[in-house]
Amino acid sequence: MSDTRSLSFLSRCRRSRSFMVGGIMTAFLLVCAAISLFWTPGSAYDITIANRFLPPSADHWLGTDRFGRDIASMLMTGTQNSIVVAVVAVSIGLSMGVSLGLLAAARRGWTEEIIMRLSDFSFAFPAILSAIMLTAIFGPGGVNSILAIGLYNIPVFARLTRGSANAIWAREFVMAARASGKGRLRITFEHILPNILSIIIVQATILFAIAILAEAALSYLGLGTQPPEPSWGRMLNEAQTLMFLDPMQAVYPGLAIATAVFGLNLLGDGLRDILDPRLSRKR
Amino acid sequence: MTDESRSIPVLEVRDLVRHYRLPRESLFSEPGHVYALNGVTFEIQKGKSFGIVGESGCGKSTLARNVMALEDTDSGSVKILGKEVVGLSFDQLRPLRRHFQMVFQDPYGSLDPHHTVGRIVAEPLAAVGPISKEEKDSRVAEALKSVGLKPQDVSKYPHEFSGGQRQRIAIARALITHPELIVADEPVSALDVSVQAQVLNLLKDLQKEFGVTYMFISHDLAVVEYLCDEVAVMYLGEIVEKGRTEDMFNTPAHPYTRILLDAVPKPGSGQKRSRIKLKGNVTGQTERRTGCVFRDRCPMAQDVCREVKPPLTPVGEAHLAACHFSDEMIKKAQPHS
């Protein structure tokens, strides 16, 4: 009978167009990142001034930049960087935020009040601004930009979790669990978390896209990934001064960022359709 | 032995009070209260069914939650099998919970959609303590069998069942610890009429088989008449009349009971009945008032009703009513019966 469940899950996946398109785009990025771990068409690091501004060719698929580095290779290696930053940042936000949200919903009262007011407080600062502040204090760099983005994700998850968990706490099956003598911790893990998991997964997918965008923005400002590590954001920054000389230099990393954000957002939308219990109940 | 079990009621509720605090409307005014329960007293003997009837907002469900010790009671006492449960902590209550279980109103909301039927039905065993998987499985199978479900249903999910079957699952869950008392909060009101009858018959059969005691909350008088030995009518958090079902239905001694009875459509009689109709809704949960709780909507209200609160006084054998004019009510009711 678990077969019928997973079958219907798969068929619902196939029916959702946005899930399929988003999934293919995301999978394409993941494959690029995986391949770049052990092979790239050229070198993303070697500076050969003689090769600067080469047009696309068999050797350099997307041409070279002003230092003669291979753009296609830089994009592929940059994918790794974006994915690592997004995964770690979302994991930080997910683990801390969901725990805080579950705690707030389970304890109510002062605990909830303190956690939620702290979330409001951190929401009052725009994400990029607080990231700039953090990197200004601790210095620019990949790790600090991950921390900055991750910290920003905590209240997003905390709010979402607490809101949806509160709705589940009000359901009758939770009352039935209380009447069975189950404690709040046990109810949280046996009833609350499984019922809000789909909402959290969807939110994580979308925040994943936002994290990639935020990393690119920080790198563009010179606060994120430092040279010589290739990064989409810094490629954009470097291309900016060459806008009229070689506009394609800016188009490629821009397209990469757009693909990642668009694909992940579509994936999140598709997942929402698939995992939404109201849609799955209608069978 | 029999005398002793008779003298200790399965459920004994004394002067139960529960007020909810409303959020403050302004910084300088005192916060308001909802007076949900204002001193409710009753007891249920072993193997009997006790019905609690009233409109929405009269405190029925609050009473159920307080009897089940699901929220903090303000004052009063709830004794289950002679043991006081008010004031016990959640952990202290856990070992007692096997003796009293609950069936909820909405079978679509009371079963966790992510759990299998087997897991749902086994849930109350959490309070019994560690038991082996074999015993758990056999008790689940036994509980499912007693409510007329198949053993292979254990691995299904709630969405694969209809409303009536879901309520059977909920009843199986309540039965698994072999409780003495089952509190049923409107267990059939969310079901189709044909399914209602099946579930009510099931409840009756289970009572015969296991000798369980029911505290049965309903707004449907026909359902209560069918199932219950005794009935209490609630209004604004108080019991206004209480007695054996046949006495209550034949000779209602409180105008509110009479109005509720008159509101039940009787098919086939054809002739015009003299009936009292009730206007408006239950109001006044948030104020402290003098006099009778029902005075604002009572067709018989006099000055005395506004000033003096009628106590719950005996009007017949095991029949109590809180009305200044209960004698007149009974006299009026006699020719009808």
Q: How far is A182 from chain B (nearest CA, A)?
A: 7
pLDDT of residue A282: 42
pLDDT of residue B245: 92
Mean pLDDT of the region A254-260: 91
Nearest to B180 by CA among B218, B138, B210: B210
Cα dihedral B327, B328, B329, B331, rounded to 10, equals: 90
Q: What is the residue whose two structure tokens read 């200044």?
A: B324
**ipTM field:** 0.85
Number of Cβ within 10 Å of residue A186's Cβ equals: 13
CA distance B102 to B105: 10
CA distance B173 to A188: 20
pLDDT of residue B173: 94
Average pLDDT, chain B: 86
Taken in order A58, A74, A217, A83, the sign of the CA dihedral is: positive
Nearest to A44 by CA among A243, A229, A258: A229
Mean pLDDT of the region B147-165: 90
Contact A167, A104 (CB under 8 A): no
B104 vs A176: CB contact, 8 Å cut-off? yes
Q: How far is A279 from chain B (nearest CA, A)?
A: 13
- DSSP conformational letter for A70: B
- DSSP conformational letter for B24: P
Average pLDDT, chain A: 84
pLDDT of residue A159: 93
Contact B191, B199 (CB under 8 A): yes
Structure tokens that stand for B256 in this block: 């509110």
- Of A24-38, A116-130, B225-239, least confident by mean pLDDT is A116-130
**How far is CA A250 from each of CA A61, A140, A169, A247, B280, rounded to the nearest angstrom?**
15, 23, 50, 6, 71
pLDDT of residue A163: 93
Each residue's pLDDT tens digit, B202-216: 999 999 999 999 999
Q: Which residues of B touch A (CB under 8 A)?
A: 65, 68, 70, 90-91, 93-94, 97, 101-102, 104-106, 109-114, 123-124, 126-127, 155-156, 159, 170, 173
Q: Say whether pLDDT at A185 is over 80.
A: yes
Q: Say whether pLDDT at A2 is over 50.
A: no
Q: Is residue A58 part of a domain?
A: no
pLDDT of residue A5: 52
Number of Cβ within 10 Å of residue A245's Cβ equals: 10
Each residue's pLDDT tens digit, A51-94: 777 778 777 777 777 777 888 888 888 888 888 989 999 999 99
Q: Is residue A268 part of a domain?
A: yes
Structure tokens that stand for B230 in this block: 């005794």
Nearest to B318 by CA among B226, B260, B264, B242: B242
Q: Is residue A120 part of a domain?
A: yes
Q: Say whether pLDDT at B331 is over 90.
A: no
Q: Is residue A110 part of a domain?
A: yes
Q: Say whether pLDDT at B265 is over 90.
A: no
CA A207 to chain centroid, in Å, comes to 4
Amino acid identity, residue B288? R
Q: Is residue A242 part of a domain?
A: no
Structure tokens that stand for B289 in this block: 């008032």
The residue of chain B with its CA nearest to that of A195 is B114
Q: What is the residue whose two structure tokens read 């010790």?
A: B69
Show the 3-state SS of A85-154. Answer: HHHHHHHHHHHHHHHHHHHHHHHCHHHHHHHHHHHHHHHCCCHHHHHHHHHHHHCCCHHHHHHHHHHHHH
What are the φ and ψ backbone dihedral angles of A55, each rounded to 5 degrees? -75, 165
Residue of B112, B125, B136, B150 best to disrupt the A interface, most CBs of A under 10 A: B112
B112 vs A1: CB contact, 8 Å cut-off? no
Each residue's pLDDT tens digit, B116-128: 999 999 999 987 7
Helix B133-146 vs helix B193-210: angle between axes, to the nearest 10 degrees? 120
Nearest to A199 by CA among A97, A266, A272: A272
* Bridge partners, residue B13, by sequence: B42, B78
Contact B278, B259 (CB under 8 A): yes
A209 touches chain B (CB under 8 A): no
Each residue's pLDDT tens digit, A122-142: 888 777 787 788 878 888 777
Q: Is residue A53 part of a domain?
A: no
Q: Say whether pLDDT at B291 is over 50.
A: yes
Q: Is residue A138 part of a domain?
A: yes
Q: What is the CATH number of the domain that holds A20?
A: 1.10.3720.10
Give one word for B280, left, alpha or beta, with left for phi > 0 and alpha for psi -120 to 50: left
Q: Is residue A95 part of a domain?
A: yes
CA distance B179 to A111: 36
Report H helices in chain A.
Answer: 2-15, 17-36, 71-107, 109-123, 127-138, 142-169, 172-179, 184-187, 193-220, 232-240, 248-275, 277-281
Structure tokens that stand for A230 in this block: 């290739």
Q: What is the residue whose two structure tokens read 């067709």?
A: B299
The residue of chain A with its CA nearest to that of B161 is A281
pLDDT of residue B335: 56
pLDDT of residue A281: 45
Each residue's pLDDT tens digit, B18-69: 988 888 777 777 788 888 888 899 999 999 999 999 888 788 889 999 999 9
Which residue segment(s) compose the domain that A163 sits in? 2-30+80-232+252-281
The domain tally of chain A equals 1
Q: Say whether pLDDT at A230 is over 70.
A: yes
Q: How confident is the model at residue A4 (pLDDT cuts 50, 70, 90)?
A: very low
Q: Say whether pLDDT at B1 is over 50.
A: no
If you count them, how many residues does chain A have?
A: 283
Mean pLDDT of the region A223-246: 84
**How far is CA B47 from each of CA A235, B13, B188, B203, B208, rounded to the nearest angstrom?**
80, 17, 20, 12, 8
Tell me the chain A residues in contact with residue B140 when contact means C-beta distances shorter than 8 Å: none
If you count them, how many residues does chain B have?
A: 337
The residue of chain A with its CA nearest to that of B98 is A180
A104-131 burial code (b ≥16 CB/10 A, e <16) = bbbeeeeebeebbeebeeeeeeebbebb
Contact A15, A21 (CB under 8 A): no
Residues 34-63 of A with CB under 8 A from B: none
Tell me the chain B residues in contact with residue A177 when contact means C-beta distances shorter than 8 Å: 112, 123
Contact A243, A258 (CB under 8 A): no
